[in-house]
């Protein structure tokens, strides 16, 4: 897989996703991703992106000002 920005090689990796919902900040750690070895650009598979969206939608209504969760624990 090639990077959309620099055409570098993408490798399987993990990242931290940070979302600001205007009422809280949700941090999801260790999210599986494809990361460019050249520029660091990150992309998610459709499955991971859908699950991440589900997690964020659930957490938006039930979190405090800042929430940190592990993807592997929450996605199970």
pLDDT in tens, the chain (76 residues): 899 999 999 999 999 999 998 888 999 999 999 999 999 999 999 999 999 999 998 888 776 788 888 998 776 6
Tokens for 62, please give them. 């039930």
Q: What is the pTM of this model?
A: 0.83
pLDDT on residue 74:
75
pLDDT on residue 5:
94
Q: Are 72 and 30 in contact (CB under 8 A)?
A: yes
pLDDT on residue 42:
97
Backbone dihedral region of 6: left (phi > 0), alpha (psi from -120 to 50 degrees) or beta? alpha
Strand, helix or coil at 4?
A: coil
* Segments making up each domain of the chain, as ranges: 14-30+44-74
pLDDT on residue 21:
86
**Rounded alpha-carbon distances, angstroms, from residue 14 to 33, 41, 68:** 5, 12, 15
């Amino acid at each position: 897989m090639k990077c959309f920005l620099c055409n570098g090689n993408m490798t399987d990796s993990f990242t931290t996703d940070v979302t600001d919902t205007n009422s809280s900040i949700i941090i999801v750690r260790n999210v599986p991703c494809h990361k460019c070895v050249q520029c660091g650009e990150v992309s998610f598979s459709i499955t991971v992106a859908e699950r991440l969206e589900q997690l964020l939608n659930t957490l938006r209504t039930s979190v405090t000002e800042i929430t940190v969760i592990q993807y592997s624990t929450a996605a199970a």
